[in-house]
Structure 1
């Protein structure tokens, strides 16, 4: 059995943790003995996650944060250090998507809004989070940026979101080099299509249609599958991994599955 005991007692912030991937990561961290600062702009849902963690025997606190605002991100980091005396890691997960349309149909305001959260928000989380990790002299400091498959591939009609996520991967790679000598690992997770709450009300046949198109193995990912990667990257098992952009996508990033008797026997046999 894989030993993740090295994460026990570590203090970590997870942004965008009221739902979806962030919630799954926060719960996974707490289940493995980490002290979690649950951060989100939605206080009701965020406090609900904290209550779930405490009910399950874990330790967590909540801090309301709009990651596009410098004062909020500074306040989040200060709150974590004041509460627990140090910071070992931060998961920059908060983000928004955009309506699908070609570049010429986007407004400047849409560009500013999306990049303020998806790129600038990650930059500020890294900047102020790393400052605190350095001051804490954590022996196993880590930064995890939740990017997207869109951070390593092009996507039609998604230029702003895609460029923001490419920027997150770029920040990850540069920071990995900047802080390698300080024993801080910096990695990105690039999820494919994951079955988060946006799929909750979708008919099962619609979900399956999308899964058949978007995922080589014909199913959507589970948030826990992303959380397990985040747990690994926070542990001592991953101390020699830094600067990586890790796809969690059933192989979607490597290409399309061409229907054959081998890959689609139910269709072609």
Structure 2
């Protein structure tokens, strides 16, 4: 008998979220996909190997009541939860910190950190109450969780904080077989990183063309980590284009 494996993916309407949905579906996972844009979620669903095993729930991932409903609907539909991919993200437009509007800073933190916290909290409730207990959380991090780019205070702060969330939730999850991973991604070729191919601002003021890579490789990495038993944790990992100036950034 095939064991049902259920995953929630946030930000599933495009980019890494869409690629990951396609890859997990091909690997036999049942999916709850969420994002703001229902039409694009429908496109993601249509691209999956088993569209009939995809539940679409559109809404605002920073809204507490919506997040509670997302997890409740998923468990009501499928009976359990095995994986949460905290993928939804937002970048600030590069600007000096003195020109950063509070509204923009707050929006980036809300999407990248607060939404990840809300989803992690609701996943923990399910993971600790289901039989057997356990589950896996994977956070979409960034190289900026370790070494920021110039003029990116909001994004860098949020991704540093998400790494803290990953580490603290990993500690809390240990005795319940809840494993937590942060995948720090460098220049996957999505709409957020595509501009780096035209020239990315470096700390010394130069603009340097940076390589990108196909986000399908991130999706395959998520599938691999998700395939591990919950008794095995990959706490942090990095995947990036080989030529990205990360180790020497700064």
Measured against the shorter chain, the TM-score band is 0.7 to 0.9
Choose from 221, 228, 235 the match for 1:236: 228
CA distance in 1, matches of 2:143, 2:132: 30
For 1:153-232, what aligned pairs fall within 5 Å after superposition?
153-197=147-191, 207=197, 213=208, 215=210, 219-232=211-224
Q: Secondary structure at the match of 1:111?
A: helix
Greater share of residues in helix? 1
* Offset of residue 154 of structure 1: 2.1
Please, what TM-score do these two structures have when normalized by structure 1? 0.82
- Match of 2:13? 18
Q: Secondary structure at the match of 2:95?
A: coil
- Match of 2:203? none
CA offset digits 1:149-201 (Å, max 9, x no partner): 1112122100111000000001001111111111111011111111124577x
Please, what TM-score do these two structures have when normalized by structure 2? 0.88
Choose from 236, 248, 259 the match for 2:239: 248
Rg larger for? 1
CA distance in 1, matches of 2:79, 2:103: 39
Residues 87, 138 of structure 1: 8 Å contact kept: no
CA offset digits 1:199-252 (Å, max 9, x no partner): 77x7xxx83766x9465xxx311111111111111112674224x221111454
Choose from 111, 124, 148 the match for 1:117: 111
- Superposition RMSD in Å: 2.3
CA distance in 2, matches of 1:68, 1:214: 34
With 123-132 and 231-240 compared, the bigger mean Cα shift is at 231-240
Residues 141, 162 of structure 2: 8 Å contact kept: yes
**198 and 126 in structure 1: CA distance in 2 versus 1, 3 angstrom threshold:** closer
CA distance in 1, matches of 2:103, 2:198: 35
**214 and 15 in structure 1: CA distance in 2 versus 1, 3 angstrom threshold:** farther
**Gaps spanning 5+ residues in structure 1: where?**
1-5, 257-269
**174 and 28 in structure 1: CA distance in 2 versus 1, 3 angstrom threshold:** same
CA distance in 1, matches of 2:208, 2:104: 28
**Gaps spanning 5+ residues in structure 2: where?**
201-206
Residues 6, 31 of structure 2: 8 Å contact kept: yes
CA distance in 2, matches of 1:238, 1:224: 24
CA offset digits 1:103-131 (Å, max 9, x no partner): 11111111211111111010001001121
For these two proteins, the number of residue pairs brought into alignment is 239
CA distance in 1, matches of 2:148, 2:199: 22
CA distance in 1, matches of 2:134, 2:144: 29
